[in-house]
Amino acid sequence: MAGLHAFNVRFHLGGRNWPTNPYGLQGEGSVSLEPDFVIIGGRNHSSFRLPKWAEHRLRMVDIVNVRTEGPDLRFDLLGVKGNMTVGFTLADGAEARRLAALLPTRQTEQFALAHAEREAFHDRIDYWSPSTPVIWGLLALNIGIYFLMWLARRGPRGISLQTMPGWGWSSPVDAMIRSYQLAHWGANVGPLTLSGEWWRLVTSMFLHGSLLHIAFNMLALWQVGTLVERIFGSMRFVALYMIAGVCGSLASVLWNPQVNSVGASGAIFGILGGLLAFIRRENSGVPPTIVKELRASALPFLLFNLTAGFLYPHTDNAAHLGGLVGGFLAGHLLARSLHMPEHRPA
C-alpha cells in the first residue's frame, strides 16, 4: 500500500475494552497516511462469506479527538454517517503515540472538556493515594485464610486432598462438613452470633466456602476496591470496608437467624455504596465526566448482582443489601475532598 507513512495494526470487532471499528475489520491490517487521507486496510468479517481484504479512505479533515491508551489508538470521524469512532492496536505505546502525532490535533469541545476532567481526576488521586496497600493486604488475607482452611482439611499422613471426596480446589465441599469447619473458623452462624459471639460478624467476612466463591469475590474486590481505596485513602477505606462488612453480616443474621453465612460480598457491595455516596457529594473533587462514568459502571453491576441474588436461593442477598446500605452511609461520613491544596475552591 502506497503512502508517506505506513503502520502495521490489529483490528478488533468488539468488546468493551478493545478499540473497535465500524467497518467489520478484524485481525492483522495496516494504516497508511497520505497528505489528505488515512487509508485503513484489513480483512472484513462483517458477513457470512469468507473474509476479504477491504480498504477505506478517511479524510484528514474529518478526523478529531485522537487519543491513545497504551498500544491502542482511537479517533472520531465527524459528519460520516453521523459520528463514528475508529480504533485499532499498534505494536506498542510508542508506535501508537508516533502515529497519533501524525494525525490532526483538532478536538471537539465536549471531548476536550472530558479529557481535561479525566486528567484532573487522575492527577488528584495520584496526589492523595498513589498506591493501594490495603487492597493487596485484603486479597492476601482472604486467600491466605482459605489456603489455611484447605491445609486443615488434609487427611492423616498428608493424604492428598484430591483423594478426599468433596474437597478439591475445584470440587464442591460436602455441605455438612463444610458448614462445621466454617462454623469452627468463625462463620456467621445465627444461633451462635445471637447468643453473644458477635465477633463472628467480623470473622465471617474473611471466610469463603469454595474456590469459585473466593475467586469471584476476590476478582470483584480487586476490580472495585483499587479505585475506591485511592478515592477514600487507605485508612478511610479500611473503615469503610469493615463497617460495610459488619453491616452486611448483621443484616444477614437478623434477616435469617438460622443463617450460616460467610464471604466478603457484603463488604464489596459496601465499598460500591461508599463510592456512590462519595461521588454524589458537592465539592468531592470528582469531575462530572468521571461521576457519569462511575455511575454507568456501578449501577448495572449492582442491579445485576442483586437481581441474581433474588433468583438464586443460596445467595445471601440480605448481606449484600446490608453492606450496600452500610457502605453508603459510611461513605458519607468518611468521604474527603480530592481537590489538591493549590486547587481547593474557596
Outline where DSSP puts E strands in the chain: 5-11, 25-33, 37-44, 52-59, 63-69, 72-77, 84-89, 188-189, 260-261
**pLDDT the model gives residue 4:** 72
Burial of residue 50, with CB atoms counted within 10 A of its CB: 0-12 exposed, 13-18 middle, 19 or more buried: exposed
Q: What is the mean pLDDT of residues 53-58?
A: 93
pTM for the structure as a whole? 0.81
Residue type, 174: D
Which of the following is catalytic: 320, 332, 337, 339?
320
Nearest of 338, 345, 272 to residue 121 by alpha carbon: 338
**pLDDT the model gives residue 164:** 37
261 is catalytic: no
Element (H, E) at 339: none
**pLDDT the model gives residue 14:** 72
Question: What pLDDT band is residue 47 in, cutting at 50, 70 and 90?
Answer: low
Q: What is the 3-state secondary structure (H, E, C) of 261-302?
A: ECCCHHHHHHHHHHHHHHHCCCCCCCCHHHHHHHHHHHHHHH
Which of the following is catalytic: 32, 261, 265, 284?
265
C-alpha cell at 205: 467476612
**pLDDT the model gives residue 48:** 64
Residues of the chain above pLDDT 70, percent: 88
Nearest of 38, 73, 78 to residue 57 by alpha carbon: 38
Q: Strands 72-77 and 188-189: what pairing?
A: unpaired
Reported as a single tens digit per residue, the pLDDT across 157-188 is 444 444 333 444 444 445 667 778 888 899 99
For the beta carbon of residue 106, count every other beta carbon within 10 angstroms: 16
Q: What is the mean pLDDT of residues 9-36?
A: 89
Cβ distance 233 to 336 under 8 Å?
A: yes
213 is catalytic: no
Cβ distance 66 to 105 under 8 Å?
A: yes
Reported as a single tens digit per residue, the pLDDT across 113-166 is 999 999 999 999 999 999 999 999 999 999 999 999 888 876 544 444 443 334
**pLDDT the model gives residue 310:** 82
Instruction: Between 19 and 274, name the one with better pLDDT.
Output: 274
CA angle 46, 52, 54 (to 5 degrees): 85
Q: What is the mean pLDDT of residues 229-257?
A: 96
Cβ distance 75 to 86 under 8 Å?
A: yes
Q: What is the mean pLDDT of residues 270-299?
A: 95
